[in-house]
Structure formats: C-alpha cells, structure tokens
C-alpha cells in the first residue's frame, strides 16, 4: 500500500521557473540548468523502479516516496521507504549513465562518460547516514525494527566498478534495478519473524507522515537575488516574456498564442521564487500591469484567500503546478538527462 505518493519535486518546479525568468547571460544560469537536468534524471530514475516495487510488496506493506525527515537541526531525505512487519528498507535510486567507480580511499563516486570524469559524493556514505538517522527517529518513538538500505542504479547500461580496498560485503547493497525483486526476497528470507503488529505499522506510518516536512525553496535558495528575476507574464507554450494584455486576454508576440489565464502560471512562479503571499501592488509589479483595477479583477477572479484589509491586504497564492507545467487552481502548500 502506498502511504505517500511520489510528487513532482518543488525544487524542480522552482528551478524550471527560475530558468524561465533568468537572463541566459546570468552567471548562475548554466549551473542551474545543469542542476535542473540532474534533478529531472533523478526523478526519472525514481519513477523507473515503480514496476519492480509493484512486484515486491504486499497489501500489508507500506511504501513512502520522497520523505524529508528531521534529524536534530537538519533534515535527511529518502527516495523510497518500504515498511513491513519484519523490516524496513531504504531504497536510494541513482540514474547515472556511463561508468561509475566507488573510490574508497577518498570516499567519492567517480563517473566517466564520453571521456569526461566527474566526482560526486559517496552514495555508500549517504545511505549509512540515512539509516542511522532513520533508526534514531523510529527508536525515539519506541520502534525497534531492522533497517536495511539499497543503492539501486536505474540505468541498466551503467557499468559499476569499485576500488579493491572494498570488502565484498561493503558493496553488497549496490544493485541494478532488475535485481531489486530478487534482493528483496533475500531480505525477506533474512527477516522472517514479524517484529511489529499491524496496529504498530499504522502508528509508525503516522509518525513518518507527521514528521515529513516540505523544504522551503525560493530564488535566493539558489543564490539568485529576487531582483534578478524577470517580471511579466510568460507564455505557457513558449515561455516568452512578457505577454501583452488586451481585451481581458494575454497575447504572445513570439508564438501568437493567447490565453485568459496565463497570469496564474506566472503567479505560481512568483509563489515559488519570491513569496506565497502577494499584495495588489506586488502583483502589478511582477505581472507588469499598470492598472490597479485590472490587478484587483485578476485577484478576485482567482478567489484567493486573503488576510488584512485595504492597503495591508495580502493574498495566499494557493496554486498547484502539475508535472507537465500546467496550472490547476487547488490548495498548494509549498514546502537528467543522465547526469
């Protein structure tokens, strides 16, 4: 049973909005574009194991995707967590093309692809930290259940190598995606005794969902000043900024598209990059609308919740963006190509 669905990452939404609203000559543009591609690949990798996951759990087991849990003053994130009555498994997914080399001497992962070498943080250390943090959290709530962890490479063509300093058991939890069901069977054979009851499973699920916390993201999280964000309504199909407003519609001079609701998409960008509340004046500035009456009309047409009165009135931008970058007006709580 899936207790927490995989959602399209807010961080990826924010990167897409930021790239749309940064000049291409901005010093951060290329690094942000690279990060966006890596995160898209990471999401694709996580989605790619869904079939294998569907084959290896029962209705009594719980699956959680994209958990962000506290550890003292910091947080740790889990791609996928499988909870059974006998054990828990952390599944960390890596979507990497080329050859990967686990270097024990310097605790790093070296990727070789198209003649280029890149160094990344060590996934083995990552899952050790995740396991320790998770065990600390669940034991705090009186749960004592074995926790295993796996590093799953989702790209079947990834060549995995390791330095000879590693003992075989140190690499035993590194697998390709196709091996996941078989490895899970081995773990089930290892832990056959039921440790927690169905009632405790529900309690543990409640603890994990209670402690899950959305990450607060903005343009400044990526080292970009909000003053650098380009203002204006962007065209949803082609991203051109600004669209022009005529006769209660938005018109794009680049692709000739027109829309009555393009401002909602742009206000979602504002909620991701700057703030999830907005005043009439701030809306006029961001959407580049000279008329206060027009901005008030747009705000009222969206039926947004508000606080304050008259000049102090602020509107909550409860806008949700789908993974295909379309906007639906619902309650929203903002929290790789192969790399």
Instruction: Identify the pLDDT of residue 322.
Output: 39
Q: How far is CA 231 from CA 23, 134, 259, 264, in A?
A: 11, 42, 18, 14
User: Hey, how many other C-beta atoms are within 10 angstroms of the C-beta on 87?
Assistant: 21
- 233-269 per-position pLDDT tens digit: 999 999 999 999 999 999 999 999 999 999 999 999 9
Which backbone phi and psi does 151 adopt, to 5 degrees? -105, 115
- The span from the CA of 112 to the CA of 55, in Å, is 32
Instruction: Identify the pLDDT of residue 197.
Output: 93
Q: Global pTM?
A: 0.82
> Token pair 């694709």 is at which residue?
44
Sign of the dihedral defined by the CA atoms of residues 298, 301, 303, 308, in that order: positive
Instruction: Identify the pLDDT of residue 245.
Output: 93
What lies within 8 Å, CB to CB, of 97 at 6+ separation is 113, 155, 157, 158, 338, 339
- 7-62 per-position pLDDT tens digit: 888 899 999 999 999 999 999 999 999 999 989 988 998 888 888 888 765 678 99
**What is the pairing mode between strands 320-321 and 244-246?**
unpaired
Instruction: Identify the pLDDT of residue 323.
Output: 35
Instruction: Identify the pLDDT of residue 329.
Output: 30
Question: Got the DSSP string for 167-191?
Answer: -GGGGTTEEEGGGHHHHHHHHHHH-
Instruction: Identify the pLDDT of residue 331.
Output: 30
- Which residue positions in the chain have pLDDT lower than 70? 56-58, 319-339
Question: What are the structure tokens assigned to 148, written together?
Answer: 């295993």
Q: How far is CA 142 from CA 136, 138, 165, 238, in A?
A: 10, 7, 38, 53
Instruction: Identify the pLDDT of residue 57.
Output: 59
Which backbone phi and psi does 102 adopt, to 5 degrees? -85, 110
């Amino acid at each position: 049973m899936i207790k927490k669905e995989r959602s399209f990452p807010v961080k990826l939404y924010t990167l897409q909005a930021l790239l749309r609203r940064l000049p291409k000559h901005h010093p951060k543009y290329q690094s942000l574009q690279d990060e966006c591609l890596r995160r898209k690949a990471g999401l694709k990798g996580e989605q790619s194991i869904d079939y294998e996951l569907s084959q290896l759990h029962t209705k009594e087991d719980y699956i959680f995707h994209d958990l962000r849990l506290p550890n003292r003053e910091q947080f740790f994130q889990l791609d996928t967590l499988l909870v059974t009555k006998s054990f828990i498994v952390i599944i960390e997914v890596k979507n990497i093309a080329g050859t990967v080399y686990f270097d024990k001497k310097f605790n790093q992962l070296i990727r070789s692809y198209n003649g280029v070498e890149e160094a990344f943080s060590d996934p083995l250390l990552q899952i050790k930290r995740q396991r320790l943090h998770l065990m600390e959290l669940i034991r705090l709530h009186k749960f004592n259940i074995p926790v295993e962890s796996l590093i799953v490479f989702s790209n079947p063509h990834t060549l995995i190598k390791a330095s000879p300093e590693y003992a075989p058991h140190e690499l035993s939890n590194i697998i390709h995606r196709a091996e996941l069901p078989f490895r899970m069977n081995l773990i089930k054979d290892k832990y056959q005794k039921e440790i927690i009851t169905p009632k405790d499973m529900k309690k543990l699920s409640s603890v994990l969902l209670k402690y899950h916390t959305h990450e607060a993201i903005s343009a400044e999280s990526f080292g970009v000043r909000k003053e650098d964000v380009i203002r204006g309504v962007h065209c949803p199909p082609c991203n051109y900024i600004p669209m022009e407003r005529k006769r209660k519609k938005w018109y794009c001079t680049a692709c000739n598209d027109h829309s009555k609701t393009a401002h909602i998409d742009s206000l979602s960008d504002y909620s991701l990059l700057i703030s999830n509340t907005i005043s009439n004046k701030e809306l006029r500035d961001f959407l580049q609308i000279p008329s206060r009456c027009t901005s008030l009309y747009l705000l009222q047409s969206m039926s947004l919740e508000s606080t304050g009165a008259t000049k102090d009135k602020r509107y909550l931008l409860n806008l949700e963006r789908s993974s295909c970058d379309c906007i639906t007006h619902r309650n929203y709580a903002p929290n790789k190509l192969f790399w």
